[in-house]
Structure 1
């Protein structure tokens, strides 16, 4: 090609093509910056430097000119030359990163076949040689004099599970590569320098947080638990000066966990030069709640000048539009924000994905404080890969992990954490639980307890504010109907629906209601509790984790011990009474999940908790419970996701991504329904989104986010039956639109007596 210029991308708005040398060096500079955080700056820079070397061939350059004229893709492969260079100068396994920088990380066999074709003198080898020779004239450093250095720990034999360390290093280096590539390419088309936010001043954020928290605490109600919360907070923040590692925040429900973990994270980051705080929570409702707390404590106040600090990133977060929303959308692509509040699904699905769009954010976990709230909700079936990955992030990538929960699982009894230090953030946890004991447990496990009897008992509770938590959505609908019918039989008692006032109101919460509907009910419940109005709420377990409600009495269907304790956290939460009441019941017709982990948890619960046994806040019994629960599922690790670990050791990235599913999508189907209360503008926009999705038109993630408030879920078999009966219509993938009846209180109630529901019988 002589001295002809080589280009990486077509013309931008200023009419300028992206020079290949500039793109390679620009991407390398960004990747080096990202990789230096975990001691792999040189390797990260080199992989980015060679990722597009294959664009140096005549056929690719000519294809770029044609594509530019027709506004089409070049359509000429360009990854092989860089993959071969990566294999030669970094290591054979790292060729996968260059080979997958567009389509996703491949498996080991794919890399082997690519490299074999490049070393046997065939057409691929000739093309790769041509590209390398052409680019080397402009960027001679693509062929270094020696091999590229890797982190020292990656080169030490016998340093733990070497195959898993290599796999995690590959993921993190891939993240630096694809993020650098995205950023440098976007900068070209925007005709500006790449946009990377400077590291936040964590000490300044810590001071801002402390000032605002003091104002918040001063304005609290002054309940009896406030003094204990302050003691907890001071202990936890003091622990922030301790060494990085795996920290455990074990405090009772209502102990101020959100503020305490935030105070710890900010001090720890300031003390140790860490770059950001990532908070992950199992449920979107809790994520929204926690994100609001962080925003109030850290973001600029109205009228203040300054950059936004807190990024809320999950499926229903509003990331579209202009201004602050545009910043959120851009930051969500690679978590370029000082504080990220997300879901555990988003965090771990990204960590074990293989696609560039999901993985480009991963390098931001290096040198970060990762707060895992409500860790008892992590699924047993995935604990091996999750705990192994977290250990790698702590041991080799400069992260600190916080396990936060009122019900701490015994993770250290599993081999993935064997030999690691468990750093307790609160001293004398047993004494703390005793001081914050705010409920008494009443065990009613007799046989033959019908929904009607249970409804009558609930309505006899003297304080007239009762939460009843059951195990399935069907059970929630049936108990809600039983309580509602009992109320209807006595018109002077109250209402089964939305009648405000002094009469008792019976409300329902489950995933058969749309997300927007659930949020409205939770807001209504909070308002009525504050006003002292008589209220009965029948809910599934979605209300148990992080939803700040305070009932004098809670009924809980028998369930695993951590669920019983979480439900108890909704009773007498503020300590305004001597004791709240938690009534544990066993409904005769009650359902429950039947997966192996849930059955093992229920069996272990029955061994340690109940009348004449322990209560669920007995910490010694909880320890034995978790140990028995884990051992009951087998000691070979299969139940905890060991097959995924085997795939990781084999560098089979596609199969890992397929096998690692935080949400078992085989069991449920998302169902869209537009309630009558949806305003006209929202209805029109949502109908347009549904139409575009049905027609397969480009929508981006914004359409699915906008549908989220209007989405409920159904068991897959029910959704399929509804489609067959004409009561639901497919939209895209497994997403369907509901065309049948939607109960104004219970949502998609399968027991609704209308003829249109008889397809379920």
Structure 2
């Protein structure tokens, strides 16, 4: 028997044929929801065809039984793609697209997607491999594969079915601008189905368990969750509620009505404090039931929003295990390029990689993770892409999409709705004109969930803005003096600054304030630390004076209310979010929001914040028709018009080291410079090489805060229980911080960071984590006797 895998625990064997059949069935389920079932099934059926050799079986046994993974690597990923090309590439254009789509998925399923077109127009990765006349053992592979009854007939039938699927797909995307973009995304979607099916089947075999599709579980979660939510609504309606809570209930009711409508891309424009999370969840739970969606996904800009909103949803639906928080990748990306790499890595990493696919009913993740699923390199992030289809996706604070990626984001949204059968909600208090951009989100008429926006904004008015922006700006001492004046007459003040350095400096200036609880918040703290700080703040608000100094992490999604807010000059969208933390529940008639310029901020490396502040100052605050109505839809529209005009002039969309925008590599305009040798023009490998969701990538690092210390200790042990390991890896999300490369380098040079699991996880020691600031590069922190 020719083998695909040998189980580590008991040395059970999985044949190549069994693995191919099992993977193809799982992939078929993934692809069916978007009418690409035959594409996905055929990719699964041929992906490991190259293992049909005695040489590979011997190689595998040596790796498992003798721990010998030596000699020349065996290419088992090319044979299936070459087999399709040799037998089915002909004059039929549609069929050739199918052969290329499935072949690319197969030959890329360990290394990550390759190119159909190269930057230098030399023969592409795809073409070189499928036309390789000297592929080792290829004749043996074909003979062994075709000798199994039914294999040849199955491939032929699936090719015909997939060709019909492709024809239907092209009909769906034909009305969209730049349809080649969506063809390329479809090819990545097929790749995602294959990679996830392969990893899932491998994990199931290794753990000796049956594959379980969670769709039925999701249906139960949505039904029970909606019932719990409506019970809460009924309770609120029966109680004596405040006018602002009545407004929130009315808005959530509008979202409930929209849930019965067909799948579409909707906008949900609710003023800050209007209950966006509750209203959008009401829509999502009901719509997911009515239209048989597989999952609900919230995409947020900041981890703080993720943490709080996920907790709020758990409390509403009363099913905590149904909600996944996915902040960042704490375990390094896999990028396996050979089957034997799987046997080289730690077994626990194998199990974690096998589960890392967003297969949960309700998921909270970040915009970075969303964009990475479409455009980042490797296989680990790409495998999640198919789980974004047939879903309800809520983009919270959609105005926070990085400017240089707005067109890529828009294409991803259009694709998920048009080809991916997903319902999209673009949710914010300050709605950008996504349908007016160069490559717009395609919105139908009447897709705004909230009618009469002007009246709604006025009904939610709870603050008055005071412009104290001066040309020279205020230094730390001047801001501190102003805070001290305010706290003498108020119970609480929130100060939001644009940089961590400025926030830390102001905290140090105010930390010794005797008559108030002074607290600092930043992304240098792990989620559990921030949550503990926020809990302490909420507990003290109303009982004692509170001064909170924070970066913009507190602006969106954090349900907290201060008597007054001071906001350093920024974009109008950020100012609106800051205002949402003032007088949130209308504790008084009108709260005060002060706009200042912080002199100590350095914004040269934060162009969007800088441009946003300049546009706010030059076009909004300087014009009384807007300055007196900062949160009106007309003012916000004017702000975004000027912001995009200035950003277009000043923010490059061309990645460093590349002479083209990524969209040019995606939409076929680059490949049109020379006639490509394939029908497909995707440049996946090049795009993934240059794509960065944020300009400075980060790495998740485990920190010694609270239970994080225990998790670090446990991960230093030889854990053999996969259930325990995966539980620990889920907990890691709450005790990790994302660090820039230069921060990692500094910590490493001071011996303040330690690798675990052969360098796949990193953790900080106690000296690098401070109870006030979180991660500190000086190495002088101590968490002993941690108290608030």
TM norm structure 2 = 0.81
Listed one character per residue, the Cα deviations across residues 723-760 of structure 1 (whole Å, up to 9, x for unaligned) are 66x48557569968477686643456799999xxxxxx
Give the CA deviation at 1:706.
6.3
1:511 to 519, 523, 539: 523
SS at match of 2:557: coil
> Does residue 455 of structure 2 align to residue 431 of structure 1?
yes
Give the CA deviation at 1:247.
0.7
1:240 to 233, 249, 259: 259
Structure 2 residue aligned with 1:28: 24
1:271 to 290, 293, 314: 290
Range 48-57 or range 416-425, more displaced: 416-425
> Does residue 240 of structure 2 align to residue 226 of structure 1?
no
Give the CA deviation at 1:420.
3.5
Give 1:351-390 correspondences, 5 Å limit.
351-390=374-413
Range 509-518 or range 246-255, more displaced: 509-518
Range 232-241 or range 513-522, more displaced: 513-522
C-alpha distance in 1, partners of 2:691/2:727? 25
Give 1:124-163 correspondences, 5 Å limit.
124=135, 127-138=137-148, 139-141=151-153, 143-144=155-156, 147=160, 148-149=162-163, 150-156=165-171, 159-160=175-176, 161-163=178-180
> Does residue 649 of structure 2 align to residue 617 of structure 1?
no
Quick check: 2:43–2:194 contact (8 Å CA) kept in 1?
yes
C-alpha distance in 2, partners of 1:359/1:236? 32
Change (3 A) 1:737 1:128: same
Q: Which runs of 5+ in 1 are unaligned?
A: 302-307, 319-325, 488-493, 495-502, 693-698, 755-761
C-alpha distance in 2, partners of 1:714/1:158? 42
Change (3 A) 1:331 1:23: closer
C-alpha distance in 1, partners of 2:327/2:402? 19
Give the CA deviation at 1:470.
1.1
C-alpha distance in 1, partners of 2:638/2:451? 20
Give 1:21-100 correspondences, 5 Å limit.
21-72=17-68, 75-87=73-85, 88-89=87-88, 90-100=98-108
C-alpha distance in 1, partners of 2:614/2:281? 36
Quick check: 1:669–1:734 contact (8 Å CA) kept in 2?
no
C-alpha distance in 2, partners of 1:206/1:342? 20
C-alpha distance in 1, partners of 2:294/2:779? 53
> Does residue 212 of structure 2 align to residue 195 of structure 1?
yes
C-alpha distance in 2, partners of 1:600/1:451? 22
C-alpha distance in 2, partners of 1:421/1:114? 38
SS at match of 2:268: strand
Range 361-370 or range 613-622, more displaced: 613-622
Listed one character per residue, the Cα deviations across residues 578-602 of structure 1 (whole Å, up to 9, x for unaligned) are 0011011123334335444333322
Quick check: 1:719–1:728 contact (8 Å CA) kept in 2?
no
SS at match of 1:564: helix
Quick check: 2:569–2:596 contact (8 Å CA) kept in 1?
yes
Give the CA deviation at 1:669.
7.6
Aligned residues: 706
Structure 1 residue aligned with 2:496: 469
C-alpha distance in 2, partners of 1:436/1:179? 45
SS at match of 1:547: coil
Give the CA deviation at 1:482.
2.7
Give the CA deviation at 1:6.
3.4
C-alpha distance in 1, partners of 2:479/2:19? 68
Structure 2 residue aligned with 1:19: 15
1:745 to 772, 777, 785: 772
> Does residue 305 of structure 2 align to residue 286 of structure 1?
yes
Change (3 A) 1:746 1:637: closer
Give the CA deviation at 1:270.
2.3
Give 1:699-714 correspondences, 5 Å limit.
none
C-alpha distance in 2, partners of 1:118/1:752? 54
Quick check: 1:50–1:142 contact (8 Å CA) kept in 2?
no
Listed one character per residue, the Cα deviations across residues 500-547 of structure 1 (whole Å, up to 9, x for unaligned) are xxx421221123445443332211111111x43111111111111111
Range 413-422 or range 574-583, more displaced: 413-422
Which has the higher relative contact order, 1 or 2, with Cα contacts under 8 A spaced 6 or more apart? 2
Give the CA deviation at 1:253.
0.9
Give the CA deviation at 1:368.
0.8
C-alpha distance in 2, partners of 1:28/1:672? 37
C-alpha distance in 2, partners of 1:215/1:381? 44
Quick check: 2:33–2:390 contact (8 Å CA) kept in 1?
yes
Quick check: 2:117–2:682 contact (8 Å CA) kept in 1?
no
Range 41-50 or range 197-206, more displaced: 197-206
SS at match of 1:151: helix
Range 451-460 or range 437-446, more displaced: 451-460
Quick check: 1:206–1:263 contact (8 Å CA) kept in 2?
no
Give the CA deviation at 1:713.
6.6
Change (3 A) 1:67 1:418: closer
SS at match of 1:663: coil
Give 1:2-17 correspondences, 5 Å limit.
5-10=1-6, 16-17=12-13
C-alpha distance in 2, partners of 1:507/1:103? 46
Structure 2 residue aligned with 1:338: 361
> Does residue 717 of structure 2 align to residue 686 of structure 1?
no
Change (3 A) 1:86 1:220: farther
Give 1:630-669 correspondences, 5 Å limit.
630-634=644-648, 639=653, 643-649=661-667, 650-665=681-696
Change (3 A) 1:734 1:661: farther
Give the CA deviation at 1:622.
0.9
> Does residue 427 of structure 2 align to residue 404 of structure 1?
yes
Change (3 A) 1:426 1:736: same
2:275 to 256, 265, 270: 256
Give 1:173-184 correspondences, 5 Å limit.
173-184=190-201
Structure 2 residue aligned with 1:695: none
Quick check: 1:449–1:587 contact (8 Å CA) kept in 2?
yes
Change (3 A) 1:361 1:144: same
Aligned-residue RMSD, C-alpha? 3.7
Give the CA deviation at 1:239.
1.1
Structure 1 residue aligned with 2:600: 589
SS at match of 2:203: helix
TM norm structure 1 = 0.83
Quick check: 2:52–2:140 contact (8 Å CA) kept in 1?
yes
